[in-house]
Amino acid sequence: MAQHDDPLDGLMPEDDSYRTCPVCGRDCAPEVIDTGSSVRVAFSCPEHGAHSMVDPFTEEL
Ligand SMILES: [Zn+2]
């Protein structure tokens, strides 16, 4: 997988349902969380908090 300046580009699934807050249906902005050993992308609703966490380097579902 090629390196890219934007860690989200090309790594995230095409389906954007993970972005949507299950409570209010808001489209939430991704937030990259670097834990040191891995990188995860969290989606948090400004009203309802984090609802989804995606590991862009793990394909298994
Ligand atoms: Zn919400």
What is the mean predicted confidence (pLDDT) over 40-46? Answer: 93
Q: How far apart are CA 39 and CA 17, in angstroms?
A: 20
The SS3 assignment for 58 reads coil
pLDDT at 6 over 70: no
| Distance from the first to the final alpha carbon of the chain | 19
Q: What is the band of 56 on the pLDDT scale with cuts at 50, 70, 90?
A: confident
pTM, two decimals, is 0.61
Please write the tens of the pLDDT for every residue from 11-39. 655 667 889 999 999 999 999 989 888 88
Q: What's the gap in Å between 3 CA and the centre of ligand 1?
A: 32
Q: What's the gap in Å between 45 CA and the centre of ligand 1?
A: 5
Tell me how far the alpha carbon of residue 41 is from its chain's centroid.
4
Q: What's the gap in Å between 48 CA and the centre of ligand 1?
A: 4
CB 5 within 8 A of CB 18: no
